[in-house]
Every structure is written in C-alpha cells, then in structure tokens.
Amino acid sequence: MQQSGAAGSCRCILCPLLGVLFFQGVYIVASLEIKADAHVRGYVGESIKLKCTFKSTSSVTDKLTIDWTYRPPSSSRTESIFHYQSFQYPTTAGTFRDRISWVGDVYKGDASISIKNPTIKDNGTFSCAVKNPPDVHHNIPVTELTVTERGFGTMLSSVALLSILVFIPSAVVVVLLLVRMARKSAGLKKRSKSGYKKSSIEVSDDTDQEEEKGCTMKLCVRCAECLDSDYEETY
C-alpha cells in the first residue's frame, strides 16, 4: 500500500491487476454477473445448447476470455473443453474433441456453446467462466447436463400430437358437412309432406340436370360404338 499525503488515503499498487478500481477515494471491486441454466436435458444424437450470459461494467475488449470446463459425475477431475479470446478454441482432445461449437456473441453478452452428437457419457457438470479486465471477479455458475435416450413414450407423444392436429380439423369439416346434409334432408321431407311445389327456377334446374345426364349417357354410348367399329375394322 502507498500513502497519499494530500488525501491521507491509501493507494493500492496491485489493485488494477486485481480488478479493483479507485474512484473518489473509494476502492470499488469491478465484477461480472454471469448466468447459466442450472439443469439442461438432452437426447442422444441431438445437439444440445449450453447457455451462458454475462454482464460487464467494462466494454468488451480483446482481453476478454471465456472458459468452459467439464467435470464427470462422482469425480473431482475437471477438463477444459473450450477457450475463447478473440477466437474460438474448442478442445482438440478427450471425449469432446470436434464436438464443441461456439454459438455465442461476446458483444451481446452471450458465451454459449453447443455439443454435437451427445451421448450418455457426456452427463456431468459444466462451468462457464468469463473475464473482461478489469472485471475479473465473478460467480462461476454450473450446469448439470442429463443426456438420455429418446424413449418410446416421447416418440408416441409426438405422433399423438401430430395426429390430433390433423384429425381435429378433418373431424370439424366432416361434422359440418353431416349437419348441412341433415338439414337439407329434413327440409326436403318437410316440403314433400306439406305438398310443396317446386318453383319454375327449381324445375328448370332439374331439367338442365336431366339433360346433362342424358347428354353424358349419349356421349358414352357413342364412344362405345366407335370403339366397336374400330375393333370390327381391325378384323
């Protein structure tokens, strides 16, 4: 510590290196706020995102570093699986080799990574550490990852949901058509019982429909005759 005669206060020579700032006679500890999901669940073979965000009192510089570590279950041994400082440096050894991808953005306070082709052996504790000098003091959040096989129940629920989404609209359409047909049938029966006579427009429509049917039948007969004549000419 070094005394300042004018102010009568102590000045810490190593404070800038330790992330401690001196402002208006008060020492302020520069710190980071880091957040990560406490529990993440994933399935074998499906990419998993480990989310980590941070807030710093200082602007992001090329001195900012991010370190992800992994600790297997029931073990105190930790291994580095990812390092960032201006560039991404995923691990090139161990079980996570070529399976860690950078999906974050330091300028948005995002330090997230992704694990490709996860297996049950990846279960364990992951830690996210961020340093942005002079902000170097922070909590180190941990994420417990649980990877399981996607069971038959999960697959069945997905199929059931898809079936429901397809079945419900179809059922609604069928019900509406049945209701419409029932109303039309009831109306015709009511008219026939009450001696209802068709209007000239309805009679004309029925006549047109009969003529169309007659024309269609004649056309079919004509086509059949043509086919017969062609068959006879061939022989």
Inter-residue contact 23 to 99 (CB < 8 Å): no
pLDDT at 6 exceeding the cut of 50 = no
**pLDDT tier at 141 (50, 70, 90 boundaries)?**
very high
Residues contacting residue 95 through CB under 8 Å, at least 6 positions apart: 121, 122
Structure tokens at 103: 């999906």
Convert the pLDDT of each residue in 30-72 to its tens digit: 578 999 999 999 999 999 999 999 999 999 999 999 999 999 9
Query: How many other β-carbons are positioned within 10 Å of the β-carbon of residue 223?
Result: 10
How far is it, in rounded angstroms, from Cα 54 to Cα 130?
A: 8
pLDDT given for residue 222 in this prediction: 62
How far is it, in rounded angstroms, from Cα 109 to Cα 104?
A: 8
How far is it, in rounded angstroms, from Cα 101 to Cα 47?
A: 10
By CB atoms closer than 10 A (0-12, 13-18, 19+), residue 71 is middle
What strands, in cross-sheet order, belong to the sheet with 52-56? 52-56, 31-36, 137-138
Check residue 129 and give left, alpha or beta (phi > 0: left; psi -120 to 50: alpha): beta
Residues contacting residue 86 through CB under 8 Å, at least 6 positions apart: 62
pTM, to two decimals: 0.56
Q: What angle do CA 31, 35, 39 make, to 5 degrees?
A: 150
pLDDT given for residue 27 in this prediction: 40
For 72-85, what is the mean pLDDT?
94
Convert the pLDDT of each residue in 169-219 to its tens digit: 777 877 877 877 777 777 666 666 665 555 555 545 555 555 555 555 665
The residue among 120 and 172 whose pLDDT is bigger is: 120
List beta partners, residue 100: 115
